[in-house]
Amino acid sequence: MKQLVSLTVAALVLAACSETTAPTADLSTRYAKPVAAPGITVSGNLTSQMFDFEDGGFEVAGGPFFAVDDLTSGGFSASAPNVVAAWNNSTRFIGRVDNHAIFLVVPAETAGTVYSLDFDLYIIGSWDGQGKQAQQGRFGQDLWRLSIRCGSLNSAPAQVLLETDFSNQMTVQQSYPLKASQQAGNKAGQGAFNIGGLGFINDPSVHTPQFRSFADASYNMNFKGSNPCAAGQNLIFAFVVPHAGLQSNYDESWGLDNVMIKTD
pLDDT at residue 73 in the model: 79
Identify whether 238 is part of a domain: no
Identify whether 9 is part of a domain: no
Identify whether 16 is part of a domain: no
Residue 244 to residue 260: CA distance in whole angstroms: 26
Other beta carbons less than 10 A from residue 8's beta carbon: 11
Evaluated on CA atoms 172, 177, 182, 183, the torsion sign reads: negative
Identify whether 197 is part of a domain: yes
Q: Which domain holds residue 150?
A: 23-117+124-233+244-258
Q: What is the pLDDT of residues 57-80, one digit of tens each?
A: 787 788 999 999 998 877 777 889
- Considering its fold, how many domains does the chain have in total? 1
H or E element that contains 216: strand 216-226
The angle formed by the CA atoms of residues 29, 32 and 35, to the nearest 5 degrees, is 100
Identify whether 18 is part of a domain: no
Largest CA distance in the chain: 57
Do 252 and 126 touch, CB atoms closer than 8 A?
yes
Do 156 and 167 touch, CB atoms closer than 8 A?
no
Query: 48 has which bridge partners?
Result: 262
Identify whether 43 is part of a domain: yes
Percent of the chain's residues with pLDDT above 70: 83
pLDDT at residue 56 in the model: 83
Residue 219 to residue 112: CA distance in whole angstroms: 27
Q: What is the pLDDT of residues 162-185, one digit of tens each?
A: 999 999 999 899 999 999 988 878
Please name the residue ranges forming H helices in the chain. 9-12
Nearest to 166 by CA among 152, 180, 184, 147: 180
Ranges of residues in the chain whose predicted pLDDT is under 70: 1-38, 133-138
Identify whether 14 is part of a domain: no
Identify whether 68 is part of a domain: yes
Residue 157 CA: distances (Å) to CA of 4, 97, 161: 26, 21, 10
Which 8-state DSSP code applies to residue 202?
Answer: G
